[in-house]
């Protein structure tokens, strides 16, 4: 079970679709599917392509995992720098950081289901600095001293 989860999170860091195919089943279901994302294996592939185009140095760290029956619960930390392009916005190297929790169902060595929740965090720094936080599900947050703004993909 942990091998599938490990490959799934390596896929998010690398975009290597061989890892994705090894990790998830053909019948994979995302139970918290964002609007516009395809269901099944095409969903994570599309999201990863878009995210890595914006944050090529994306790093995913598994902070902790819990195994319970056929489930793997993972607490994740995503980080990198917005140096690519997202929604026609060109990055300038802004730090990106957010945490996520996944609940994965694993059967016959493959992830069949995923429930996920991401918590967006502004990059650490002075309140007057402009920071961008990119969400793997297609949200871009720009933090400023006068408050956040949001653009949906």
Write out pLDDT tens, residues 22-71: 999 999 999 998 888 999 999 999 999 998 999 999 999 999 999 999 99
pLDDT reported for residue 145? 34
Write out pLDDT tens, residues 93-134: 999 888 999 999 999 999 999 999 887 644 443 333 344 444
Kindly state the percentage of the chain with pLDDT values over 70: 78
pLDDT reported for residue 87? 80
CATH 3.10.450.50 fits 2-152, yes or no: yes
Kindly state the greatest CA–CA separation across the chain: 50
Tell me the C-alpha distance between 98 and 52, whole Å: 15
pLDDT reported for residue 153? 36
pLDDT reported for residue 109? 96
Q: Residue 152, CB half-sphere, CA atoms under 13 Å: how many?
A: 4
pLDDT mean across residues, the chain: 82
C-alpha distances (whole Å) from 57 to each of 50, 54, 63 are: 13, 9, 18
Which residue ranges make up each domain of the chain?
2-152
Q: What is the 3-state secondary structure (H, E, C) of the chain?
A: CHHHHHHHHHHHHHCCHHHHHHHEEEEEEECCCCCCCCCCCHHHHHHHHHHHHHCCCCEEEEEEEEEECCEEEEEEEEEEEECCEECCEECCCEEEEEEEEEEEEEECCEEEEEEEEEEEECCCCCCCCCEEEECCCCEEEEECCCCCEEEEC
Cα of 28 vs its chain's centroid, Å: 16
């Amino acid at each position: 079970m942990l091998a599938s989860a490990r490959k799934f999170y390596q896929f998010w860091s690398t975009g290597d679709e061989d890892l994705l195919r090894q990790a998830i089943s053909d019948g994979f279901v995302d139970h918290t599917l964002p609007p516009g994302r395809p269901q099944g294996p095409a969903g994570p592939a599309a999201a990863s392509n878009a995210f890595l185009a914006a944050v090529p140095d994306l790093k995913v760290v598994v902070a902790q995992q819990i195994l319970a029956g056929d489930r793997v619960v993972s607490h994740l930390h995503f980080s990198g720098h917005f140096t690519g392009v997202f929604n026609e916005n060109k990055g300038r190297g802004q730090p990106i950081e957010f945490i996520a929790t996944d609940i994965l169902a694993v059967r016959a060595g493959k992830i069949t289901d995923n429930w996920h929740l991401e918590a967006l965090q502004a990059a650490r720094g002075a309140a007057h600095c402009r920071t961008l936080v990119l969400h793997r599900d297609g949200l871009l947050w720009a933090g400023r001293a006068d408050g956040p703004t949001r653009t949906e993909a």
